[in-house]
Amino acid sequence: MTVGKAAFVVVPEGSVTTPAGFRAGGLHCGLKKTERHDLGVIVCEVPAQAAGVYTLNQFQAAPLGVTKESIAEGGTLQVMLVNSGNANACTGQQGVDDARAMRAAGAKAFGVAEHLVGVTSTGVIGELLPMGKVLPGIERLPAGVSADGGDDFCQAILTTDLVKKEICVSLTVGGTTVHIAGAAKGSGMIHPNMATMLGFITTDANVASADLQKLLNEVTDSTFNMITVDGDTSTNDMVVVMASGLAGGEALTPQHADWEAFKAAFAFVGEHLAKAIARDGEGATKLVEVTITGADSKEAARAIAKTVIGSSLVKTAVYGADANWGRIIAAVGRAGYKVETEKVDVRLGDITVLEQSRPVKFDEERAAEYLKGDFVLIHVDLHMGDVSATAWGCDLTYDYVRINAAYRT
Amino acid sequence: MTVGKAAFVVVPEGSVTTPAGFRAGGLHCGLKKTERHDLGVIVCEVPAQAAGVYTLNQFQAAPLGVTKESIAEGGTLQVMLVNSGNANACTGQQGVDDARAMRAAGAKAFGVAEHLVGVTSTGVIGELLPMGKVLPGIERLPAGVSADGGDDFCQAILTTDLVKKEICVSLTVGGTTVHIAGAAKGSGMIHPNMATMLGFITTDANVASADLQKLLNEVTDSTFNMITVDGDTSTNDMVVVMASGLAGGEALTPQHADWEAFKAAFAFVGEHLAKAIARDGEGATKLVEVTITGADSKEAARAIAKTVIGSSLVKTAVYGADANWGRIIAAVGRAGYKVETEKVDVRLGDITVLEQSRPVKFDEERAAEYLKGDFVLIHVDLHMGDVSATAWGCDLTYDYVRINAAYRT
């Protein structure tokens, strides 16, 4: 794949353990009721340069603060622990103590300093972690960690996601081949309360923590932050990146000639995972992409894209394969940014339905056929400037209601 | 009913024609496919002092601008026309011309000046009004207008609302008995694109247009603007109030001793209609009320109440009778206003589920029983100040998806 002068390739069967220095694993410790993995780990041979982004929900789960503490200490992580089945959110001081105890147990099990361990959780809000299950599970983790453990790790972070979400790309920077891999969970919930997006990105490139953090912030804004399944921001959302540097070669900084290529590959990984989460949204039958072009600011383009992708009326129309552009235009008009209401074009795939804000006669049957596919592109051109943004989401279906109206227990 | 020192009574079988001077009517002119009313009118014996509030959606439908023009001319309206089945939105200059032609036809039919006529529409976006049906319909309207026409009018503004929504109260101001009545439509849609909230309030009190406008703005903020069915703001939302002054008595101004009583009665009418719209939301099985107390500002209280009532996860949990408070707290935490995350109480009806942000052991069966009722109160106390706000909405059900995934035609 070539993005401008940036070129990278997708590594077939690649996982978070493909970048040099990474191993992973997962096991069942008893948090999920069935015998599925509910505890996972990514381990690096060396302290990896690390960066993280965290939910903006004020009720931030306890483990997020503990991971932040770890990264703040030295900008590095060597062990990233994750459990599913319990979010350790709204659990007060006991929750913080439990997250710290997880970290301490991880440090002991893998023989590293505590500040080299990150922890994260996804699951039910408001229940204390059953530490009698978690701590023995952590003790058992090292025995099962391997270079082939990417799949075990992916299993451990799923709740009711229908598919695991991972990707690995490689590219050459300064003459050295480096890898960037990612795994994510999100949006598939049978037990409500588990609305969490988690992302884990590994790379063997030689990038320092501060540069990683800037890169992650930038990429998160245009990928993970541009997906919506139901508009509800979790208490546990988090994306962590770990860079082992073990590909060798010179340090990669924003001043390096190949930084843009690396950034493009990194952004591809983020976008791939973000879209995979949206496509696997609760009850979803299709991936919906909303692209806004011709905006006069990035903020406007993003806000309008997110308003359209988040509209329940747009989402149900897409589910019903109804080319109901009035709902799209109504969402554009309430997004909170000024638009020139006489200038807007709307296209569904390559079918123009509105031009200069005037309805265009289109083939309704062909439009319905297009909307029945498993990928739907909604393109809104505002003709006000040259800024664009893209957001991803999914349709709103009976299954969304079924999944989320089901009782927790 | 007594609200503080304000006292008013609900008039049994009262309608928009109960206040002195008002008549109403409705008929079928051919906009709806079945023989149901699709054209309605409220007429006042005299030019009534008038005020209006209009959607903030930038793609504002043509008739709203025309009604604004009319009220701007002299602060009065005598004839208020409404059609359902076609929104006259996104229809360009032709739409404006059509709205003006409706106004001119109304003026001619009822023998009043054009600036005494308001017009409004609700229905499909992006289709031109079939004026060949609308104009003859308007000509036929006067013959059917009567003091008993409130029901005909209500039928004419419905699309697929399950119930008509009207209310009338009376109270004594300055020794004179006055009435305030209202009718509304909203939230029941079989043909998508018809997401419109319309409100019509009549009174025989002697209130000037400017004071009516201030009162309407204030009351709208705490009533109509506090309901959410699906978060999608229509292009056609509008509330109009007409005051005939025919109850007699002195002018009623904000300086009048009975102004607060009048305001309380007026607010009751607004709240009654707003709640009726929410309860009749698409696919709804229950009315949900979210009350935020202990906020430190009105803006925060309102934003948090609206975020909770608008959360798809909260709405599906209520539908499923699941006391899933984690979703409530997650919505509170993402509403965009600072909360003290260790201090929050959450109650479902009188069942406390969270106290000082700590889970409270509660009887899950009793909570499920409560949530199965047709009215659910969610009360969040932030313990930060003494400001409160209430929002209304409904649950998110299979029927919502069915109604909105159905093809337009």
Residue A232: the pLDDT is 67
The answer to whether B159 is annotated as binding is yes
Record: contact B330-A407, CB cut-off 8 A: no
pLDDT of B375 over the 80 cut: yes
Record: contact A405-B233, CB cut-off 8 A: no
**Element containing residue A268 per DSSP (H, E):** helix A259-279
**Domain regions of chain B by residue span:** 2-277, 287-405
What does the alpha-carbon distance between residue A198 and residue A282 come to, in Å, rounded to a whole number? 15
Interval B285-313 mean pLDDT: 93
Q: Does the annotation mark A196 as catalytic?
A: yes
Q: Can you tell me whether residue B400 is helix, strand or coil?
A: helix
Strands of B67-203 (E only): list them. Answer: 76-86, 117-124, 165-173, 176-185, 198-203
Residue (of B31, B40, B342) closest to B185 by Cα position: B40
Phi-psi category of B225—alpha, beta or left, where left has phi over 0 and alpha has psi -120 to 50?
Answer: alpha
ipTM beyond cut 0.85: no
Which of A308, A334, A403, A409 is the best residue to mutate to test the B interface, defined by the most B CB atoms within 10 Å of its own CB? A334
**Cβ contacts of A402 on chain B, cutoff 8 Å:** 398
> In this structure, which topology does domain B287-405 adopt according to CATH?
Ubiquitin-like (UB roll) (3.10.20)
Residue (of B258, B111, B266) closest to B202 by Cα position: B266
CATH superfamily of B2-277: L-amino peptidase D-ALA esterase/amidase (3.60.70.12)
Pair type for strands A375-381 and A287-295: parallel
Residue B187: the pLDDT is 58
What does the alpha-carbon distance between residue A389 and residue B193 come to, in Å, rounded to a whole number? 26
Residue (of A38, A53, A50) closest to A75 by Cα position: A50
- CA-based nearest distance A307→chain B, Å: 9
Query: What's the maximum distance between 2 C-alpha atoms anywhere in chain B?
Result: 68
* pLDDT tens-digit readout, A34-63: 889 999 999 999 999 999 888 877 788 899
Residue (of B212, B200, B215, B219) closest to B267 by Cα position: B219
Given the residues A18, A91, A196, A397, the one annotated as active site: A196
Are B242 and B406 a contacting pair, CB within 8 Å?
no
Record: contact A233-B333, CB cut-off 8 A: yes
Residue A114: the pLDDT is 97
Record: contact A312-B313, CB cut-off 8 A: no
Residue B2: the pLDDT is 45
Residue (of B228, B216, B192, B404) closest to B305 by Cα position: B228
Residue A63: the pLDDT is 92
**Element containing residue A100 per DSSP (H, E):** helix A92-110
Residue A280: the pLDDT is 83
Strands of A114-193 (E only): list them. Answer: 117-124, 165-173, 176-185
What does the alpha-carbon distance between residue A99 and residue A121 come to, in Å, rounded to a whole number? 9
The answer to whether A196 is annotated as binding is yes
The answer to whether B409 is annotated as binding is yes
CATH superfamily of A2-279: L-amino peptidase D-ALA esterase/amidase (3.60.70.12)
**Cβ contacts of A231 on chain B, cutoff 8 Å:** 231, 310-312
- CA-based nearest distance A348→chain B, Å: 16
Which of B55, B56, B57, B58 is the best residue to mutate to test the A interface, defined by the most A CB atoms within 10 Å of its own CB? B58
Rounded mean pLDDT of chain B? Answer: 88
User: How many other β-carbons are positioned within 10 Å of the β-carbon of residue B296?
Assistant: 17
pLDDT of B387 over the 50 cut: yes
Rounded mean pLDDT of chain A? Answer: 88
- The residues of chain A scoring below 50 in pLDDT are 1-5, 188-195, 409
Dig out the tokens for B49 from the structure: 């002092």
Record: contact B313-A195, CB cut-off 8 A: yes
At B232, the amino acid letter reads D
Interval B27-55 mean pLDDT: 92
> Which band of pLDDT confidence, cut at 50, 70 and 90, is reported for residue B160?
low
Are A284 and A165 a contacting pair, CB within 8 Å?
no
Are B44 and B116 a contacting pair, CB within 8 Å?
no
Dig out the tokens for A291 from the structure: 């692209």
* pLDDT tens-digit readout, B305-345: 999 998 888 999 999 999 989 889 988 988 889 999 899 99
* pLDDT tens-digit readout, A306-341: 999 988 889 999 999 999 898 899 889 888 899 998
The single residue listed with the structure tokens 């509209």 is: A311
Residue B127: the pLDDT is 87
* Of B208 and A6, the one with more pLDDT: B208
